[in-house]
Amino acid sequence: MARRSDQDAALDAVYDQIPDVGCKGLCKASCGPIEMSYRERSRIRERTGITVESAAQSLKKNNLTCSALTDEGRCGAYEYRPAICRLWGASEDMPCRWGCRPTDGQPPLSARESYRLLGAANDAGGGSTSSLHNFTEADVLNAYDQRGEEAIGPASARRENIRQGEESDYFREASQDIPAAFVSPQVIGRYTTALRVLNERQQRPYA
């Protein structure tokens, strides 16, 4: 088993590949149950004292808010947030609903690069606690080598989902306080569908 210090160094190397996003601190309504690697979860607990429940645990309790959110609606584990949170707003497949984008004019990461980094974070962090999310960097690269843009679902359908989301009420006024239950189905659905397709093509269970 890898030492925690080695896992932390490997995770930080993955995070360094994700562009910084100019977070406006308005995204509390989008912070719902998430999955991450074992080490990402345990590091948050060790460094902040916060236990972030798995998505399955939260949903069983009908809890649609991330347990790392403070009473002020800010992330209590921001410095140690997992790869999936860092990619939100930094990926073309996971645009921030509040319009936050990579700083310094950097372009958002492609879908291929985003899912590759999620797989790399799973590798570095000892695998994911969810079978849905437990794909590796090699899984993603192999899927793209075999199917190109179709690796995580029909590219045309994904582009249409993005267009519909951007032209609808997805980008809302920052003053609105929208419950996590109403987070854009276009984005959440696109992300979940991509993971399902990737797992099916790697003959992994979807759960």
Per residue, the 3-state secondary structure of the chain, as one string, reads: CCCHHHHHHHHHHHHCCCCCECCCCCHHHHCCCCCCEHHHHHHHHHHHCCCCCCHHHHHHCCCCCCCCECCCCCECCHHHCCHHHHHCCCECCECCCCCCCECCCCCCECHHHHHHHHHHHHHHCCCECCCCCCCCHHHHHHHHHHHHHHHHCCHHHHHHHHHHHHHCCCCCCCCCCCCHHHCCHHHHHHHHHHHHHHHHHCCCCCC
pLDDT tens for each residue of 27-39: 777 788 888 999 9
- Whether pTM > 0.85 for this model: the answer is no
pLDDT tens for each residue of 169-179: 434 333 343 33
pLDDT tens for each residue of 135-161: 889 988 888 888 887 777 666 666 665
The residue-averaged pLDDT of 93-109 equals 84
The residue-averaged pLDDT of 66-77 equals 89
Q: What are the distances in angstroms from CA 128 to CA 82, 116, 123, 139?
A: 11, 14, 9, 14
